[in-house]
Amino acid sequence: MKITSPAFEDSQMMPPAYTCDGENMNPPLAISEVPEGAKSLALIMDDPDAPRGTFTHWVMWNISPDTRKIEENDWVDGAEQGINDAGELGYMGACPPAGVHHYVFKLFALNTTLSLVGEIKREDLEREINNSLIEKAELVGLYKLES
């Protein structure tokens, strides 16, 4: 399974549009080679370089395994979004306090659809992922605030 973006290469700088320096919208993502048997996909975007530990920017689940792209500034119809570490629903763009940070888009193929309700956070989603994971893929975008 692969996750890529037409907006930036793996382990390269993300354009400012997807950060707090720009429009703070999610980048376009492309999904390929989803394994047979996947019933749904889940996505977590986080910053492991955050000063107080990993900061979650985006959680989404019950993405159809037939999905091949997530459009810029959008999410997949039928998918669910959770609460990021800023306490908001949906995507929060890169906004590092200092230095270059790594923003990791983690895509998970699952053998089930998830029955999560309420204000779901990363920890809730990870518990469910651990019970039904088939395969995982990652894309890393880098960012440093413009000064």
Please compute the mean of the pLDDT values over residues 3-14 and round it to a whole number: 98
Distance CA 59, CA 93 (A): 12
Report the pLDDT value the prediction gives residue 47, as an integer from 0 to 100.
97
* Cβ neighbours for 126, distance < 8 A, ≥ 6 positions apart: 44
Report the pLDDT value the prediction gives residue 75, as an integer from 0 to 100.
86
pLDDT classification of 147: cutoffs 50, 70, 90: low
Report how far apart, in Å, the C-alpha atoms of 108 and of each of 5, 24, 62, 138 are.
Answer: 16, 24, 10, 9
Residue 80 has pLDDT above 90, yes or no: yes
Report the pLDDT value the prediction gives residue 117, as an integer from 0 to 100.
85
Report the pLDDT value the prediction gives residue 14, as an integer from 0 to 100.
97
DSSP string of 108-135, one letter each residue: EEESS-----SS--HHHHHHHHHHHEEE
pLDDT classification of 118: cutoffs 50, 70, 90: confident
Please compute the mean of the pLDDT values over residues 95-108 and round it to a whole number: 95
Place of tokens 């910053």: 47
Say if domain 2-143 classifies as CATH 3.90.280.10. Answer: yes
Give the residue extent of every domain in the chain. 2-143
For the chain, the average pLDDT equals 95
Place of tokens 């990791």: 104
